[in-house]
Amino acid sequence: MILVTGAKGQLGSEIALELERLKIPFLAVDKDDFNITDQADVGQFLHNHNPASVIHCAAYTAVDSAEDDPETCMDVNARATENLAIICKEINAEILYVSTDYVFDGQGSRLHETDSPKNPISVYGKSKLAGEEAVLRHLDKSYIVRISWVFGQNGNNFVKTMLRLAQEENEIDVVSDQIGSPTYAPDLAKLLCSIVLSGKYGVYHATNEGFCSWAEFAQEIMILSGSKCKINPISSDAYPTKASRPKNSCLSKVSLDAGGFNRLPKWQDALWRFINEI
């Protein structure tokens, strides 16, 4: 049986749908089911249900809010992940930990390999890296999968925000010097399920294919949705945020290729499918 944490979230909900489609026994849980920041609570729940695998999607993802509340962010992303890893070791379960491009500082223009130097520049990035380190410290049977720029049906995301703003504004300013890969939650869910069922432990990068800036992403959203709203590319300096963002979030897929996993479709194809669905 596979335990999926954060099952009401953007990615966890899609993983539950994919496991259901594959007819694989699973238990989808969210914060109401048990407290992942309480090791005793985690231990009782996991010992009672005894999963063979845990896909750990639950996370604190409010990147800017984390700068004001680092303790909560570290509790949820680092200490809770360590709780899960400790109990997984006790019950001989494996874990797939969903991490992020934010573990890198985003400097330079080269693709980040799975073993590239980590140097997070935000509280959120530091907390997710601490989660990675906790998993590797306690478990040999683990998968760490770094993802980026996720959008899907559940929750808030960049695509939904752009579509909403396009109905309210004639022009939108969007940063053009942060580069990465938009990633469609249903596509990602299929890949994560194939990874956790493979037994091929290791660190992976998983995003839809291709790279763009946020401004280019926004322009494609307008084109595919038929909106006349104009996108004005601006620099990150012109749009200050509490948390620093990596300017280069381009992740290498060499690890996926080496593991024999199929790469995901191009991000433009994924965006077209998402807009048609909503």
Residue 41: which CATH number?
A: 3.40.50.720
The residue with tokens 């944490």 is 5
What single string gives the DSSP state of each residue in 196-223?
A: HTTT--EEEE---B--EEHHHHHHHHHH
Q: How far apart are CA 276 and CA 272, in angstroms?
A: 6
Q: How far apart are CA 9 and CA 26, in angstroms?
A: 16
Could you tell me the residue range of the domain that residue 93 belongs to?
2-157+183-209+250-264
As a whole-number percent, the residues of the chain with pLDDT over 70 amount to 100
Helix (H) or strand (E) holding 189: helix 185-196
Query: What is the structure's pLDDT at 44?
Result: 97
Span 12-45, pLDDT tens digits? 999 999 999 999 999 999 989 999 999 999 999 9
The structural domain count of the chain equals: 1
Label residue 278 by pLDDT band (50, 70, 90). Answer: confident
In a domain, 91, yes or no: yes
Query: Is pLDDT at 73 greater than 90 in this prediction?
Result: yes
In a domain, 205, yes or no: yes
In a domain, 76, yes or no: yes
Half-sphere exposure of 190 (CA within 13 A, CB side): 12
- The CA-CA-CA angle for residues 35, 68, 207, to 5°, reads 70
In a domain, 98, yes or no: yes
Span 178-230, pLDDT tens digits? 999 999 999 999 999 999 999 999 999 999 999 999 999 999 999 999 999 99
Name the pairing type of β-strands 179-180 and 212-213: antiparallel
Query: What is the structure's pLDDT at 157?
Result: 96
The active-site residue, picked from 60, 97, 102, 124, is 124
In a domain, 80, yes or no: yes
3-class state of residue 236 by DSSP:
helix
Is 204 known to be catalytic? no
In a domain, 48, yes or no: yes
In a domain, 231, yes or no: no
Q: How far apart are CA 111 and CA 90, in angstroms?
A: 37
In a domain, 171, yes or no: no
Decide: 152 and 14 in contact? Cβ < 8 Å: yes
Span 86-122, pLDDT tens digits? 999 999 999 999 999 999 999 999 999 999 999 999 9
Query: What is the structure's pLDDT at 155?
Result: 86
